[in-house]
Amino acid sequence: MNHPNKSEEMTASVLPMEKKQECSQRAECMKMIQLVLDGEGTPEQIERVSQNIGKCLPCEKGYALEKNIKEALQLRLEKKSVPASLLDSIRSRVSSIKLFG
Ligand SMILES: [Zn+2]
């Protein structure tokens, strides 16, 4: 008796229990994340990004980083002073994320 249990396999691939440690389509993901953060994403893209963030670790980090950068830029545009500590933490996160490339 040797027949694979197909239905169980499918369930496992549809419902991953752990977040992906690597993103196979990171460029694509980051493009969508940026659109969504810019408020230019379609409802479909917003949905995809929010699902990705729950499943994909690099995307989750990328989203948090992009959000931080946008907020810092926004503060600058509003001519408010950006705390040096915030800039430092963004810079260090940028360099650590690039290592994942
Ligand atoms: Zn991803």
Interval 79-95: pLDDT, tens: 877 788 888 888 888 77
The 10s digit of each residue's pLDDT in 33-66 is 999 999 999 999 999 999 988 889 999 999 999 9
What's the 64 CA to ligand 1 centre distance in angstroms?
A: 13
What's the 80 CA to ligand 1 centre distance in angstroms?
A: 33
DSSP states of 16-27: -SS-BSS-TTHH
- Is the pTM higher than 0.85? The answer reads no
Decide: 96 and 88 in contact? Cβ < 8 Å: no
Specify the pLDDT at position 65. Answer: 92
Specify the pLDDT at position 3. Answer: 59
Q: Where are the domains of the chain?
A: 23-100
What's the 78 CA to ligand 1 centre distance in angstroms?
A: 32
Supply the mean pLDDT for the chain. 80
